[in-house]
Amino acid sequence: MKLSRFPHNLLRPNETIDEFMNGRLRLIQSKNGYRFSIDAVLVSEFVSTKPGDIVVDLGAGCGVISLLLLLTRDIAYAVGIEIQPDLADQARRNAALNGFSNKMGIVLADIRSLPLAPCIADVIVCNPPYRRKNSGRVNPDLQRAIARHELKATLDDIVESSERILKPGGKLAIIYPAGRLVDLLVRMRSLGLEPKRARVIYPTIQSESKMVLVEANKGGKAGLKILPPLVGQGDFFISS
């Protein structure tokens, strides 16, 4: 990662413009607040898409997942849902910075009451908060706290909203803690989102799994394909 030389009129106080993918992706991020992690890259690489898909990113942050998909896939449009005004503003500016204002929209909204029509999305991607509201230390930085703890949206909220806005046969791809995998699979199936693909992530080959990627199809038939494991960050490296 390196500091970009692009015009600074897009920047707010305490923000940077950083370059990734050999300069193909430029991102405005907070210097000290929430910054995207490798998890966003992994879920963008894992999700299945088709040409012309409409993709919705639940909890868009600075818009990185939508931008990665627009750069690497032939999707028609990406919609980012973000509840934090500062991050939604960053995502809008990032769409403009990367030349995708005509293919990427950001909606300032609560996942629990999405202002989107039913059955509108072909694909949903989500890098959600992993920790239950009352578990562990909550980060004093509000941006980071909302991104990491279920302060604004729970697993149930995410799966229920996904089921409502997905088209029949549409897909939900999510990255989630391995220790909560059963909760995720049970909740998906109970709402008609059948888990179809999964990939387990290990910090090292000797370690227990920490995270898992799961993709479910709305109305799909039973049958889960377990993909080869991912160790560390795979072929990706993100410095923050």
Per-residue pLDDT at 69: 98
Residues 6+ apart with CB under 8 A from 157: 111, 112
- Indicate the pTM of the whole model: 0.87
Per-residue pLDDT tens, the chain, 240 aa: give them. Answer: 333 344 556 788 899 999 999 999 999 999 988 889 999 999 999 999 999 999 999 999 999 999 999 999 999 999 999 999 999 999 999 999 999 999 999 999 999 999 999 999 999 999 998 655 555 554 444 444 444 434 468 999 999 999 999 999 999 999 999 999 999 999 999 999 999 999 999 999 899 999 999 999 999 999 999 999 999 876 654 443
Q: Where are the domains of the chain?
A: 2-231
For 147, the token pair is 């991104």
From CA 114, how far away is CA 105, in angstroms rounded? 14
- Considering only CA atoms, which of 224, 37, 22, 206 is closest in space to residue 129? 37
CATH architecture of 2-231: 3-Layer(aba) Sandwich (3.40)
Other C-beta atoms closer than 10 Å to the C-beta of 207 total 10
Q: How far is CA 38 from CA 15, 44, 237, in A?
A: 20, 10, 7
- Considering only CA atoms, which of 84, 91, 81 is closest in space to residue 55? 81
From CA 140, how far away is CA 138, in angstroms rounded? 6
From CA 240, how far away is CA 230, in angstroms rounded? 21
Per-residue pLDDT at 145: 41
Helix-, strand-, coil-residue percentages of the chain, each rounded to 5: 30, 30, 40
Per-residue pLDDT at 34: 85
Per-residue pLDDT at 215: 98
